[in-house]
Amino acid sequence: MEITRRNFKESLGAVYGAVEEADFLAIDGEFSGISDGPSVSALTNGMDTPEERYAKLRKHSMDFLLFQFGLCTFRYDQAQSKYLTKSFNFYIFPKPFSRTSPDIKFICQSSSIDFLASQGFDFNKVFRSGIPYLNQDEEAQLREQYEERRNQMNGSGTPSYISPLSGKGPVNVPDEHKDFINRVVEKVEALLNNSEKTVDLEPCSGFQRKLIFQTLNWKYPKGLHVETVETEKKERFIQVSKVDEEERRRIEQQKQEREQEELNDAVGFSRVIHAISKSGKLVVGHNMLLDVMHTIHQFYCPLPEVTMSCIDCGVRLLDTKLMASTQPFKDLITNTSLAELEKQLKEKPFKAPKVGCSEGFQCYDTAAEQLHEAGYDAYITGLCFVSMANYLGSFLTPPRAHISARSKLIEPFYNKLFLMRVVDIPYLNISGPDLQPKRDHVLYVTFPKEWKTSDLYQLFSAFGNIQVSWIDDTSAFVSLSQLEQVQIAMNTSQYAESYRIQTYADYMQSKQKSTSKNRKWAEDGWANTTCSHMHNRSLTGKRSISPTQEDQTSDFGVADSNWSHYTKKIKTDGEVEFVVFCSFCLCSNIAFISREAAVSTSPAQGEAGSEEADAWPELPANQNQGKKS
Amino acid sequence: MEITRRNFKESLGAVYGAVEEADFLAIDGEFSGISDGPSVSALTNGMDTPEERYAKLRKHSMDFLLFQFGLCTFRYDQAQSKYLTKSFNFYIFPKPFSRTSPDIKFICQSSSIDFLASQGFDFNKVFRSGIPYLNQDEEAQLREQYEERRNQMNGSGTPSYISPLSGKGPVNVPDEHKDFINRVVEKVEALLNNSEKTVDLEPCSGFQRKLIFQTLNWKYPKGLHVETVETEKKERFIQVSKVDEEERRRIEQQKQEREQEELNDAVGFSRVIHAISKSGKLVVGHNMLLDVMHTIHQFYCPLPEVTMSCIDCGVRLLDTKLMASTQPFKDLITNTSLAELEKQLKEKPFKAPKVGCSEGFQCYDTAAEQLHEAGYDAYITGLCFVSMANYLGSFLTPPRAHISARSKLIEPFYNKLFLMRVVDIPYLNISGPDLQPKRDHVLYVTFPKEWKTSDLYQLFSAFGNIQVSWIDDTSAFVSLSQLEQVQIAMNTSQYAESYRIQTYADYMQSKQKSTSKNRKWAEDGWANTTCSHMHNRSLTGKRSISPTQEDQTSDFGVADSNWSHYTKKIKTDGEVEFVVFCSFCLCSNIAFISREAAVSTSPAQGEAGSEEADAWPELPANQNQGKKS
């Protein structure tokens, strides 16, 4: 279902209903760009820590507009043994709703716009009919404005500012307006003494209207209703009506309802996000870090300074790209891009999920491939999740064809968002400490800006294979294949004039020093961006509880393990799946633990916390194709 | 004629032809926004100096995209006694033309986008089919890239970077690539010894291709043509061909032509701007300051730090809004907005100009009002200019119905760009010193951010009428109606705690002090933005040659004068109009001087340089409706 501001209000009930009844939700966003600073390859450096990546995306990606939001709800129908879906494709645009509303500016990146244009994206629909939205602060401000205006009308509120020359008691009317105000009072006196119900005053300036409101409120605290009315020509005048107390209250009530509706209209699309958030349903996305950040930033509040944490907000997120990059899928799936993943998950050993679309909803045809329409991308993201979840069921005894979205089997994937192109950290963890890999074989190299990747290959050609991760024009991380080479490289570099080498540890230490120097400012900034859903986690606190990885032996710090080594099948007990994978992918913190084991603290579960070899997701082949390759 | 990148190349000849034959050109631009910082009312403060306004627009308006450019050419047909027009409506978009081309980011302002959407603007046409462009720097860079690549292919160029370990002579091939390169050399040896013409090498990495180029250039300086070819699957491989010297040169030539065409395609719409600039034709726009700034910034070069000057670039600009706001039009025209102006200039004492559209060109119907389509706006801007120019002919003896675009009568309006909402300076002069009005009756007031315009009215209520020009949330200029009040206000404010008052002179002095502190940085920045068409004028040099205005007597520094007082009609001499207006609008530097007088240095002309009362354009009634009114 396509939703613009033309049909938003009438469709909202259907959206709420679909979210309410769903077993899980799939989402996708389309943005007006990715990076307003460094090139995308520099933005996604292979040696970023989750913290650094978050900070970079926060700094360089949030001024773009999320202008299409796809939501696909999946409800499992037991009778038909299939999922019924409802797809919504929302067009989003911050249309200013009044003369005083925020006039949002957003950046467009021509490569992103050009890409969407080539996919047939309808920009006219966004800009002509996009649904407006407000974040929490803006909503609160608007609500306050309405209240303040109401109080001013009633004459009951104290204005939020203090006029320099205005006292209490009678209104201080400037000389040049005294005649005007006196004429108004005469008209109102006449109204009170005749049989008319209302009198329309002549159009006047905003300042004069304010004087009228103040004067009439002071002179006639009861029995009058005073209201600004706009003519068709946008001229504003004041209408004064005689009312008894009951009538006054009724008018007041009506007005309040009208204002509430205006407020709801202005909050607009954010109401959908609030509903998703409140539902507590599992939210599935593909490579969803940017989608999540944009959603929070645009519809909730500015993103916190350090990383975000959803521990208390009750949302459970699942990233299908991370899932597909993790065992047992990692070895079976060669390409985790959404379109390819969807195709592979229809083939053995996977099964295309059984889905149908709910009555009154358009069905997407995956053969038609409407990729990069957010509603379609959300739909096939959901399909991918179902395929993979069901595949996990094949490990049970007896195997199960359908695994529910509430199954313990998928809990290990919760709240871990895929990190694009990071060599040795697969995800950003939003409900626990992030991983901290060893990077003893990594060097930080600075050099003249004319250097290209080939110059680095030549520089280190004696050391065999290396990996280069560009930081900017004049620096890069270089990963050596053997730890012993680090000292040799450091020694050699002493005599070099054109380049400089530091160990990763030294580099990070000097970087943290300079960061903590700037910290005061960062914390000041953060005070303004507090949001009830966000938790600021300190850099040090976070690091100290990270698991260590002593046992890394392979090249590039990527130890390989095999899913099958660590799985033990156990019986299913009634409706609930019980599985123990003694230690699955430990250092990525994904451990499959049975509910039983969790309760009984079995030895198997105890081991899951200890140090063992990890199972890094396979990284895309082109991960280190920096801008200069 | 609507021009997108689909028909740009085939239409370019028609555009060049139209510019070439035209008597004058009218232009208009549509942008993705106006201000990325302060609100538009703060951006256009009523007390801005031309310098300040320019600096503000440069800082806050240049990151928007000029995405529609209207050009309407006007050629006077003597036989038919009417103008024949050709309208072009260009859609512009910086589509990246290759993987390495600049990925432009631009800002959109939702209020501007929403306004254009409400006018039916076609964003899809911009983003899907907009014509690309390059500024001069980008064009030069691209040209250099092509040349460098060509030199590398020939093996004749020195690479622009210095590899740390590569020496001269034989290519330094890293160990792991030695086998690969040896196999390539074997294949090429085989080619040289067999009857084949070419051999295709296997697809390989960019680094390997570079090694192949270097090796083959070094080993076989003659007799081979080596070229990278891309397969349909975007795989790149190298093709080696046996060629004699003549054939090599022919291939080289073809390649160079292909590259030149690619370069031309990339320069794209900028070629139209170059043609307009080179033509030296009069360019007419309505309220054209932003159009001119965007055009220079987007298609030529970054704007200079201080103001721009077109003295040497040969372009003559004429702003119809400034013309309509100046005598003799000022008293006849009540509303200078383009749509209203166009209507008024059809009525007496003006005459709707006789126009027709050239063969093969669509005619705009002014009754249909396709406002805010750039091509249409350019068209009616041209009509307004013709009406006003012709009206000047009515002052001649005998009166003339048609005044050519080259007439001396319109020269006083050259290169003076209308300044929106400035109280006492009508224009920014791009070919001479700017005006410097007296502002002795103006106060600079700072106050708490809760204050509104009404608080300022109350504060100064004892002084009668005042004018408020908001600067930001906590400061504004307040113009008093009488000079004597300044000292009273200053004295009163000594005891005030919530607000502070400075005279305009004091404020400007302290501002210039803080500016000159920052000047070093500004000058460093300027060094990077030099452009052959721009001239940086120093702040002080500029001010010292400004005319003084000793004779200002009226309120708000706006002295009023009457056109008819200063006009003297003289005879027309053959084809050329000779008119002397002894002193017209002197302090705005618009003086009508006869060619004869200019040659003979008559007394009449001598007077034209002396101090006399001015003729300020009438300002729009709502000029000071700041954000807080």
The ipTM, to two decimals, is: 0.75
| Bridging pattern class, strands B500-503 and B442-446 | antiparallel
Say if residues B127 and A110 touch (Cβ distance below 8 Å).
Answer: no
Phi, psi of B380 (to 5 degrees): -75, -25
pLDDT at A211: 86
Scored b (16 or more CB within 10 A) or e, B194-227 reads eeeeebebeebeebbbebbbbbbbeebeeebbbe
Q: Mean of the per-residue pLDDT values for chain A?
A: 77
pLDDT at B307: 62
Say if residues B477 and B471 touch (Cβ distance below 8 Å).
Answer: yes
Say how far apart CA A587 and CA A601 lie, in whole Å: 20
Say how far apart CA A410 and CA A235 lie, in whole Å: 61
Which sign, positive or negative, has the C-alpha torsion B330, B333, B338, B344?
Answer: negative
Q: Which residue has the higher pLDDT, B424 or A104?
A: A104
Residues shown for chain A: 629
By the CB < 8 Å criterion, does B455 face chain A?
yes
pLDDT at B12: 97
> How large is the average pLDDT for residues A536-552?
29
What are the Cα distances from residue A544, in Å, to A534, A540, A557, B453? 21, 6, 20, 55
Say how far apart CA B2 and CA B383 lie, in whole Å: 20
3-state SS, residue A541: helix
Say if residues A90 and A132 touch (Cβ distance below 8 Å).
Answer: no
For A596, the enclosing helix (H) or strand (E) is: helix A595-600
- R_g of chain A, CA atoms, integer Å: 31
pLDDT at A154: 60
pLDDT at A314: 61
Say how far apart CA A487 and CA A485 lie, in whole Å: 6
List chain B residues with CB under 8 Å of A93.
110, 113-114
| Residue A309: pLDDT band with limits 50, 70, 90 | low
Q: Which of B105, B172, B176 sits opposite A107 (nearest CB)?
A: B105
Say how far apart CA B332 and CA A475 lie, in whole Å: 66
- Min Cα distance B124 → chain A (Å) is 6
Say how far apart CA A55 and CA A515 lie, in whole Å: 12
Token readout for A53 is: 């990546």
pLDDT at B26: 97
> How large is the average pLDDT for residues A181-206?
88
Residue-wise DSSP of A156-194: -SPPSS--SS--SSS----HHHHHHHHHHHHHHHHHHHS
Q: Which residue has the higher pLDDT, A341 or A628?
A: A341
Q: Which residue has the higher pLDDT, A521 or A508?
A: A508
What are the Cα distances from residue B279, in Å, to A171, A566, B16, B24, B316? 65, 78, 9, 10, 10
For B137, the enclosing helix (H) or strand (E) is: helix B136-154
Q: A454 vs B163: CB contact, 8 Å cut-off?
A: yes
Q: Own/partner pairs for A509-512, CB < 8 Å, 24+ apart?
A: A512/A539
pLDDT digits (tens, 9 = 90+) for A47-76: 888 888 898 899 999 999 999 999 999 999
By the CB < 8 Å criterion, does A464 face chain B?
yes
| Bridging pattern class, strands B355-357 and B82-91 | parallel
pLDDT at B274: 94
Say if residues A436 and A588 touch (Cβ distance below 8 Å).
Answer: no
Q: Which of A127, A128, A458 sits opposite B174 (nearest CB)?
A: A458
Nearest-by-CA chain B residue for A465: B176
Strand partners, A69: A29, A90
Say if residues A400 and A278 touch (Cβ distance below 8 Å).
Answer: no
- Min Cα distance A487 → chain B (Å) is 20
Say how far apart CA B207 and CA B177 lie, in whole Å: 10
Scored b (16 or more CB within 10 A) or e, A542-567 reads beeebbebeebeeebbbbebebeebb
3-state SS, residue B520: helix
Q: Which residue has the higher pLDDT, B492 or A41?
A: B492
Please tell me what DSSP assigns to residue A26. E
Q: A461 vs B174: CB contact, 8 Å cut-off?
A: yes
By the CB < 8 Å criterion, does B161 face chain A?
yes
Say how far apart CA A184 and CA A179 lie, in whole Å: 9
What are the Cα distances from residue A174, in Å, to A154, A595, B2, B443? 22, 76, 56, 20
Q: A452 vs B65: CB contact, 8 Å cut-off?
A: no
Question: Can you point out the beta strands (E) in A281-334?
Answer: 282-285, 316-319
Residues 6+ apart with CB under 8 A from A586: A547, A608, A610, A611, A612, A613, A614
3-state SS, residue A249: helix
Maximal CA-CA distance, chain A:
103
Q: What is the pTM of this model?
A: 0.76
- R_g of chain B, CA atoms, integer Å: 31
Vertex A368, ends A366 and A372: CA angle to 5°? 80
Nearest-CA neighbor of B69 among B283, B318, B384?
Answer: B283
Nearest-CA neighbor of A389 among A401, A371, A375?
Answer: A401
By the CB < 8 Å criterion, does A397 face chain B?
no
Which residues of chain B carry a pLDDT beneath 50? 156-168, 311-312, 517-629
By the CB < 8 Å criterion, does A481 face chain B?
no
Token readout for A206 is: 């905003």
Nearest-CA neighbor of B431 among B274, B560, B292?
Answer: B292
By the CB < 8 Å criterion, does B166 face chain A?
yes
By the CB < 8 Å criterion, does A575 face chain B?
no
Strand partners, A516: none
Say how far apart CA A542 and CA A554 lie, in whole Å: 26
First to last CA, chain B: 43
List chain B residues with CB under 8 Å of A447.
164
State the CB neighbour count (10 A cutoff) for residue A159.
Answer: 14
Say how far apart CA B270 and CA A324 lie, in whole Å: 47
pLDDT at A609: 31
List chain B residues with CB under 8 Å of A109.
103-105
Say how far apart CA B503 and CA B490 lie, in whole Å: 8
Q: B206 vs A629: CB contact, 8 Å cut-off?
A: yes
Say if residues B469 and B476 touch (Cβ distance below 8 Å).
Answer: yes
Token readout for A227 is: 């209201």
Q: B629 vs A207: CB contact, 8 Å cut-off?
A: yes
Which sign, positive or negative, has the C-alpha torsion A7, A8, A9, A14?
Answer: positive
Tokens 């999946």 belong to A74
What are the Cα distances from residue A77, in Å, to A21, A80, A360, A405, B130? 11, 6, 16, 13, 48
Which sign, positive or negative, has the C-alpha torsion B380, B384, B385, B387?
Answer: positive
Say how far apart CA A292 and CA A315 lie, in whole Å: 11
Nearest-CA neighbor of A458 among B214, B599, B320, B151?
Answer: B214
Please tell me what DSSP assigns to residue B409. G
